[in-house]
């Protein structure tokens, strides 16, 4: 359901920031032209590379892992048509500045989808200091120049989904 919210990915480059073990990245790979699994942890980059070789040959080469920096996702100018950040946004420091850097790496009209944990007394997920409210995410997106196009608090019990667009 989350992936379908990105729309048709045919011919598109998708970046998964905080890809971790690749739950989303490897589900995106059959659908997109290219998927960049981005993480700051070299251990996860090695893990992603070890999983890549197990992908079907027909789309294995669409996946690329990328070691990034905590303050820079290391995308080239306009490189990604769509970006997802799942259960990772709250771990990023100086988020508005990070989003401004990320903005440059997204193509015109490209989409950014963020999923993160709701804050109030949800029994699942990280401790409270690693949770950020939907309103704070929205404010930071707007400060960085994005236009918020969709907000979904209902589809997932424990997380919200917010989609923004580069104008």
The residues binding ligand SAM (CB under 6 A) are: 17-20, 23-24, 38-41, 44, 68, 70, 86-88, 91-92
What is the nearest approach in angstroms of ligand SAM to the Cβ of residue 54? Answer: 17
What is the nearest approach in angstroms of ligand SAM to the Cβ of residue 127? Answer: 12
Which lies closer to ligand SAM via its Cβ, residue 9 or residue 75?
Answer: 75
Q: CB under 8 Å to 46, separation ≥6 — which residues?
A: none
Encoded tokens for 76: 């080239």
In order of 7, 19, 52, 140, 155, the CA distances from 59 in angstroms are 19, 18, 10, 35, 30
What is the nearest approach in angstroms of ligand SAM to the Cβ of residue 120? Answer: 20
Which lies closer to ligand SAM via its Cβ, residue 20 or residue 78?
Answer: 20
Which lies closer to ligand SAM via its Cβ, residue 114 or residue 164?
Answer: 114
What is the nearest approach in angstroms of ligand SAM to the Cβ of residue 18? Answer: 3
107 contacts 80 by C-beta, under 8 angstroms:
yes
Q: 73: closest CA among 101, 35, 106?
A: 101
Which lies closer to ligand SAM via its Cβ, residue 75 or residue 134?
Answer: 75
Q: 86: closest CA among 152, 147, 23?
A: 23
- C-alpha–C-alpha distance, residues 167 and 80, integer Å: 14
């Amino acid at each position: 359901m989350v992936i379908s919210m990105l729309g048709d990915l045919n011919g598109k480059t998708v970046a998964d920031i905080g890809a971790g073990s690749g739950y989303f990245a490897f589900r995106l790979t059959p659908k997109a032209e290219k998927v960049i699994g981005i993480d700051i942890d070299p251990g996860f980059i090695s893990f992603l590379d070890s999983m890549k070789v197990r992908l079907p040959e027909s789309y294995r080469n669409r996946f690329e892992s990328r070691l990034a920096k905590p303050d820079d996702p290391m995308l080239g100018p306009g490189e990604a048509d769509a970006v997802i950040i799942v259960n990772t946004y709250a771990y990023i420091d100086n988020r508005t500045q990070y989003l401004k850097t990320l903005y440059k790496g997204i193509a015109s009209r490209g989409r950014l989808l963020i999923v993160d944990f709701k804050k109030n007394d949800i029994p699942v997920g990280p401790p409270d200091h690693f949770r950020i409210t939907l309103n704070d995410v929205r404010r930071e997106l707007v400060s960085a120049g994005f236009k918020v196009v969709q907000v979904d608090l209902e589809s997932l019990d424990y997380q919200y989904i917010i989609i923004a667009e580069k104008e």
